[in-house]
Structure 1
């Protein structure tokens, strides 16, 4: 699903009104809710609130700093304990005799921001993940304001509420990240562009794309991705098989097809994002098909 800066549909593949769980792709809007609920966050901390980070020491320290700012600690987080997604950080923790912890979990920044907002409002921290908690209500209101109606709220893998919306709504939300004049939206967009390392991690597609182009890029579990350019052209992708393979190049190819990314930049990013061992021929095919109305093996 591709939208221009005014919200007009440039291209739709499949059923853009199909309901999906964007999962972590909604974190920027949940972060807006945390700010509105009273969380006081630095730009880097705000970027981490939007993150599905890789759990490096730097990410863990940043999540800890959010908690420490409101006199809370790791034990207050209700996300699972985890090893870092970054292999080097994981190895370092194991060699150092450390065990899994909640700060290393990829959603710890979002949870820390929820807790900071709860403390700021004088609300209970023990129930911060309850859908009826004032902080979660602020998050839900932000999602509906900038994306569209929420039809159902499930539970995400981290324990937080997981709203269900359409793919069209997700694309609309990412468009608003770049075009809205709302101060909290502008703060989130600025943070994600200023600290792309915090949003995912060095060497990851989201971070590489943002560092290279200024495009806001945010993945969600099971093959979901949202992107928005500085000019407000947005793209939202949901891979039906739930796999993230190819989704970044597909989204970038669609942006390039509609003039929101130069062919040269697409080629550059393709080289950086292609899996190890990809041949030049298969990479060229990926770029070609990313800009078409069909994918290999699908009806034309």
Structure 2
């Protein structure tokens, strides 16, 4: 449903025991039976999942014959950091497809990881399509086209067979009709669904039978979490901390995560703040039944005053597994 989302407070910025700021957003928690266990805000309004949709896009490509496995399949669903292993992996995908970096259709950019990006700048290396964080997905799209004999030149057109296949998989896994189509930051079509639909899609991916395209994507991302994100990234750390968890973030404060039994959470922070995304997603996972002790490292970075911790971003009481609203 296309409308202005009715977001609600999902996190407070606490300084010295007083609420200094409020992050609005929406959160959904699904149980293993697919029923909604918790909802905050507007989980039915159409929104842009951004890169949190990449696991679904990867499933669509595997369904269409993409033969990648392991770390390269994880890279196909990645928002990678631009580390050398990511660039090498993208080159391997391109080589297997019989194409080159010049065939990529994503926008040139510097690496996403700030440390890697600073090295590039010091070395005078220009932005490139290979370094842009979606290059694994775009390389896999080219490979999928080559496997099927589809044209490469217009592979990002929503009417292209590849993108029609992606849209069909989005609708199949979410159980919803795509509400709208726009262009993501990388240049690929972005299919809009609801937050509930996104959670449902990733739950179906993690709970799928072994050997299916869904399970192949989930297994690859969980086994190669750093290829799906990068060294030091919170998404990789979260997947390592919670056995069996599949997690994916997206720009503008989006995160989805699901367990093998189908429990799933999805988060949208209205102002796009990462500082709220991480603790809110962790609190939602605790509400889904994940041991809060395993999530302690994701409670949010401390807020500093004079170089000393004086507060932090804290999920609202309805989310916080410890019920510490405004504490």
Aligned-partner Cα distance in 2 for 1:82–1:210: 27
How many angstroms does 1:93 deviate by? 2.8
Query: Pick from 113, 135, 153: which aligns with 2:181?
Result: 153
Report deviation, 1:294: 9.9
Alignment match, 1:226: 256
Larger relative contact order (C-alpha < 8 A, sep ≥ 6)? 2
The question of whether the paired residues in 2 share the 8 Å contact of 1:253 and 1:287 is answered with no
Q: Does 1:197 align with 2:197?
A: no
User: Could you report, residue by residue, the CA deviation over 1:198-257 in whole angstroms, capped at 9, with x for unpaired residues?
Assistant: 111111111110122132111112111101123321001111112222212111112212
Inter-CA distance 177–123: structure 2 relative to 1 (3 Å threshold) = same
1:27 to 54, 65, 80: 54
Q: In the alignment, which of 44, 47, 56 is matched to residue 17 of structure 1?
A: 44
When normalised by structure 1's length, the TM-score is 0.91
The structure 1 residue matched to 2:280, chosen from 230, 250, 267, is 250
> Which of these residues, 223, 226, 236, is aligned with residue 207 of structure 1?
236
1:121 and 2:148 aligned: yes
Q: What is the alpha-carbon distance in structure 2 between the residues aligned to residue 220 and residue 197 of structure 1?
A: 16
Q: Which moved more, 1:70-79 or 1:284-293?
A: 284-293
Instruction: Pick the aligned partner of 2:271 from 231, 241, 255.
Output: 241
Task: For residue 278 of structure 2, give the secondary structure of its aligned residue in structure 1.
Answer: helix
Q: What are the Cα deviations for residues 123-165 of structure 1, in whole angstroms up to 9, with x where unaligned?
A: 1111111111111111111111111221211111111111110
Task: Report the Cα distance in structure 1 between the residues aligned to 2:301 and 2:165, rounded to whole angstroms.
Answer: 38
Which runs of 5 or more residues in structure 1 are unaligned?
none
Shift of 1:283: 4.8
Q: Which residue is equivalent to 1:183? A: 212
**Higher strand content, 1 or 2:** 2
* Greater displacement, 9-18 / 211-220: 211-220
Aligned length: 294
Q: Is the 8 Å Cα contact of residues 289 and 295 (structure 1) preserved in structure 2?
A: no
- Is the partner of 2:275 in helix, strand or coil? coil
TM-score, with length taken from structure 2: 0.83
* Partner of residue 196, structure 2: 168
Change in 2 beyond 3 A, CA 1:293/1:212 = closer
CA spacing shift, 1:44–1:277, aligned 2, 3 Å: farther
3-state SS of the aligned residue for 1:245?
helix
- Residue 16 of structure 1 aligns to a residue in which SS? coil
Distance 2:316 2:41 in 1: 20
* TM-aligned CA deviation for residue 277 of structure 1: 4.5
Distance 2:108 2:45 in 1: 33
Instruction: Spell out, residue by residue over 1:36-86, the C-alpha distance to the aligned partner (whole angstroms, 9 max, x if none).
Output: 222221211111111111111111111111011111111111111111112
In terms of fraction of residues, the more helix-rich structure is 1
The Cα shift of 1:95 comes to: 4.0
**Structure 1 contact 25–225 (Cα < 8 Å) conserved:** yes
**Segment drifting more, 197-206 vs 275-284:** 275-284
RMSD: 2.4
Structure 2 counterpart of 1:111: 138
